[in-house]
Amino acid sequence: MHGQLFIIAIFSSITVGLLALGLSRLFWAGGIFLLESQSAAFATKPRGRFARLVRYFLRLRPGAGQRDYQRWRDSLEDGLWSMARVLQAGHNVYQALEIVRGENSGPFGQFLSDVLIRHRSGVPLTDALRQAAEVSQWAEAFYVAEVLELGLKSGGHLLDNISSLQEMIRDRAFLKAQLAAGTGEARISAWILGLTPLALIAFMAIFQPGMILPLIKDPTGRLGAIYAVVSWASGVLIIRKLLQLPEGEDGAR
């Protein structure tokens, strides 16, 4: 009896947890997710393996990738506008990086801080831009590095290039939003398909526990249960991979 109650509690907890995870993702997709986590900003400060490990676990939060990418994109747009304004005032690229870094406290400001730290340690500014872009998890960081490197090497038309970069970033964000909206129904269907077996098992464990006992006591039943769990987990991973947007659903590389 205690064994049955233990099994019921395990399956019920798993089902409730996955349902809560799915609902939280749907709430964020619909714009109802109201609480912003500030812990993601910590992931942009440390460097090396520890930073990658922190970012990995932070991205496991429901909707963490979308929130982090939105924060990065907003910070990037503000930073590019500030950089265009500073360059138009007559400052050079290095001075613009210094000024914008001081004005921008978001992820783009952290990116510029990384660039300046590398440059002050003796790395040429063009190489510092490329190295910081390689460390960054965002694809747009490479575009920023390319535009600024082109301005440092060839000089003119830097403001025009920054304006084109801003337009390209807005177009990318619009296309990603369209693609995410187009796959919304498929994502909901994937969650339903993934949670249905767990809900069915929880229902049977509560109302028909005798049908679950062979999966525990009988050797053949245990093998069947292991196969079912493995096939279910593989199916969930395959569906998730098929629904993943290009370059990640959140703009990360």
CATH architecture of 49-181: Up-down Bundle (1.20)
Domain definitions of the chain by residue range: 2-35+184-243, 49-181
Least confident of 74-83, 103-112, 157-166: 157-166
Listed in sequence order, the residues at least 6 apart from 113 whose beta carbon sits closer than 8 Å to its beta carbon are: 101
> For the segment 62-87, what is each residue's pLDDT rounded down to a tens digit?
455 677 888 888 899 899 999 989 98
Q: What is the pLDDT of residue 118?
A: 93
Rounded mean pLDDT of the chain? 75
> Residue 46 — very low, low, confident or very high, per pLDDT cuts 50/70/90?
very low
